[in-house]
Amino acid sequence: MKEKYPLFQVMGKDGKWQDQTYEKELNEAKVKSLYYHMLRIRTYDQKGVALQRQGRIGTYVPFAGQEAAQVGSALALGEEDWMFPTYRDHGASLAFGADLDMMLLHWNGRIEGCLPSRKKHIMPASIPIATHLPHATGAAMAETYKGSKNATIAYFGDGATSEGDFHEGLNIASVFKAPVVFFNQNNGYAISLPVEKQMNSETIAQKAEAYGIPGIRVDGMDVLAVYIAVQQALDKAKRGEGPTLIEAVTMRFGAHTTADDPSKYRNQDEINQKREVVDPLIRIEKHMKGRHIWDSAWQSSLSEEIGEELDNAISRMENYQKPVVSDMFDYVFEKPTWTIAKQRQQIISRGGRG
Amino acid sequence: MVMSKELAKTGEKVKTNSFNMIQAINDGLKTVLEKDKRTLLLGEDIGKNGGVFRATDGLQTKFGEQRVMDTPLSEAGFVGTAVGMALNGLKPIVEIQFLGFIYPAFEQIATHVTRTRTRTLGHYHMPMVIRAPYGAGVRSPEIHSDSVEAFFAHMPGIKVVCPSTAYDAKGLLLAAVEDPDPVLFLEPMRLYRGKRYEVPVEEYHIELGKGTMVAQGGDVSIFAWGAMMPIALEAAENMKQQAISCDVIDLRSLYPLDKEIIANSVQKTGRVVIIHEGHETGGIGSEIISIINETSFLYLKAPIEKVTGFDVPVPLFALENDYLPTTDRIEQAILKVYEF
């Protein structure tokens, strides 16, 4: 099956062109933009882990290793397209235009952060596995219903492909030719379970065959390949040709969450050694150097700018107004039912504290 | 659009059709599809076949396949699809073929349908109606007879309603579609082709959260809904022979419950019988008792009686009539609270 679903690469592991077809499209500005977002979300991710370790936020879900998959896919989206991420796809959300402050608030246990953007269609991260795949299908069908040319994208991991909602979402999308891209990040592990024990099929891409839709296997460490593959799938969807399943083969360098210890189920030293070889940021850097579009001074200033942006956002997150207890009651229904109104009053009469 | 009470009061000749419940539901669905382009129907066998009970008969021919969609056999999938549609500005009305088939969609309802408004602080909401025929007594196969309204009444973020007449079915359905939040609309399949009612042609709404007094008496309050209403009324009628008169209240809305109608009746009678076909433990009956406890404790003259389904899986049809509350069991309960 790996022969039938070859890994699509635009650059090799050494960063050199593997497929120069897209050189014009992947111009200097585009590549620099992809690099900027990867650097930004990696820095954010490192800060996230550190903040959790310092007890300044709650459990954090790191995504290091998946920057190319998340940025490449997010930057391929059109302004009006819809993104349905999981809890590990905050890198993609940020690259697509999520509000950094909202993102940080979410890790700090604040409901305000659940919706990361009020400008773009970035949905709250789905916590239950694969349940948002039918949502992406439905939102896509609504676009068709309204006669627009927008598409949707659903993010999910390798473990999600074992859930019923994966099947139901893909099946319905294929039957109705919904303009949706199912973007899988196969990072090798669902918490502790390696993908070999998750499924008996050799690839995730081949599962597309069951739905009569295209399945694409792309090197998830190659940001250029991810960008091109997702863009092509989106274009296809927008032309009315239905959904595509993309498997981005990637790696989760770190733990499942900051509450997880990966050394319990895998040799983390091996992962750390491999990391140096496959790191998607190093790969794009090599590529840029090969094309003579790498500039150390530019990189340093980016790095500085991002560090400053994050420090300011973290400071705003920590100084954000205290949560309002009435929020818990005021957004269940448009108008609170009498039971909710009664309960709300009970806690308000205690000074807003339980 | 007129409210039901106003309609009754005006005394003017209102144009009506004589409909049973399934016809009233069909008429209600037709009304909303005509009125609001954002509405669309999804479900299994609802298009070409018109639904296994014919609730959507003729609607696909009239409104097309995009508005009346035959979905794959995929409850989680099409409820999830409806979530995506609702996020994107549409108003999906989903049919679950039998309430006992809703379990695959339970996760979608518990984790997304009911939480979207909360999770987005109102930026997105779920104007969705989930219709589901429920209940025993029509010799259906296994699992087709469940009455699990309590699961959903317990779940924050969804309203649960259940009509017992054709008139209420249309009025409640139109109000449910109009409601900006998700509504589980339970249809007592045992009453689908029962009594005909005069159902107004024009749009009217029955307010969600409001019960209705269908018989007045001073001695005992009977609370029921849906498929239990005919036997509740029959029992109350029979008790007249023993000079016991009953308030019979059709609660119609199971979340939120109508606290006022419950309290007003109990404070008058002091004696209560609650009927439901769902399982006893954790059933809506216990919640009604809780409301009585809170509002009317000192008015009670006797311990409250419940006549309910048992804490067993709804049996196959050979025993379903033994599972279901009966007129006899209700009459015994009325006597018990009356003679206490």
In chain A, what are the domains? 7-323 (3.40.50.970), 325-354 (no CATH)
Q: Which chain A residue shows the shortest CA-CA distance from B75?
A: A168
Among A81, A135, A174, which would you mutate to test the B interface (most chain B Cβ atoms within 10 Å of its Cβ)?
Answer: A135
Is A121 an active-site residue?
A: no
CA angle B39, A182, A207 (to 5 degrees): 115
Q: Is the peptide bond before A243 cis (omega within 30 degrees of 0)?
A: no
Rounded to an integer, what distance in angstroms lies between the CA atom of residue A327 and that of residue B98? 36
Q: Which chain A residue shows the shortest CA-CA distance from B74?
A: A168
Torsion of CA A35, A40, A46, A50, to 10 degrees: 170
The answer, for A214 touching chain B at a CB cutoff of 8 Å, is: no
Question: Same topology for domains B14-205 and B212-339, yes or no?
Answer: yes
The answer, for B79 touching chain A at a CB cutoff of 8 Å, is: yes
CA distance B302 to chain A (A): 26
Tell me if B81 and A134 make a contact (CB, 8 A cut-off).
yes
**Tens of pLDDT along chain B (340 residues)?**
334 544 555 556 799 999 999 999 999 999 999 999 999 999 999 999 999 999 999 999 999 999 999 999 999 999 999 999 999 999 999 999 999 999 999 999 999 999 999 999 999 999 999 999 999 999 999 999 999 999 999 999 999 999 999 999 999 999 999 999 999 999 999 999 999 999 999 999 999 999 999 999 999 999 999 999 999 999 999 999 999 999 999 999 999 999 999 999 999 999 999 999 999 999 999 999 999 999 999 999 999 999 999 999 999 999 999 999 999 999 999 999 999 9
What tokens does B299 get?
A: 């008015």
What tokens does A63 get?
A: 């995504």
Residue A307's CB is within 10 A of a number of other CB atoms, namely: 13
Residue A290's CB is within 10 A of a number of other CB atoms, namely: 14
Tell me if B81 and A138 make a contact (CB, 8 A cut-off).
yes
Which of A37, A88, A90, A252 is labelled catalytic? A252
With residue B215 as reference, give the H or E element that holds it: strand B212-215
With contacts defined as CB-CB under 8 Å, which chain A residues touch B122?
330-331, 334
Orientation of helix A280-290 relative to helix A67-76, angle to 10°: 70
B279 Cβ contact list (under 8 Å, min separation 6): B147, B148, B150, B308, B309, B310, B311, B312
Tell me if A333 and B40 make a contact (CB, 8 A cut-off).
no
The domain defined by B212-339 folds into Rossmann fold (3.40.50)
Which of A90, A132, A256, A344 is labelled catalytic? A256
User: Residue B303: helix, strand or coil by DSSP?
Assistant: coil
DSSP code, position A160: G
The answer, for A341 touching chain B at a CB cutoff of 8 Å, is: no
Q: What is the mean pLDDT of residues A17-41?
A: 97
Predicted confidence at residue B7, as pLDDT, reads 55
For residue B186, which phi and psi values (nearest 5 degrees)?
-90, 130
Q: In what order do the strands lie in the sheet with B39-43?
A: B68-70, B39-43, B91-95, B129-134, B183-188, B159-161, B253-255
Which of 3.10.450.30, 3.40.640.10, 3.30.420.40, 3.40.50.970 would CATH assign to domain B14-205? 3.40.50.970
Tell me if A135 and B81 make a contact (CB, 8 A cut-off).
yes
User: Assign residue A191 a region: left if phi > 0, alpha if psi is -120 to 50, beta otherwise?
Assistant: left
For residue A82, which phi and psi values (nearest 5 degrees)?
-110, 135
Q: What is the DSSP string of A330-352?
A: HTSSSS--HHHHHHHHHHHHTTS
Domains in chain B: boundaries: 14-205, 212-339
With contacts defined as CB-CB under 8 Å, which chain B residues touch A127?
111
Q: What is the mean pLDDT of residues A310-338?
A: 96
Q: Which residues of B121-144 are buried (b: 16+ CB within 10 A; e: fewer)?
A: ebebbbbbbbbbbbbbbbebeeeb
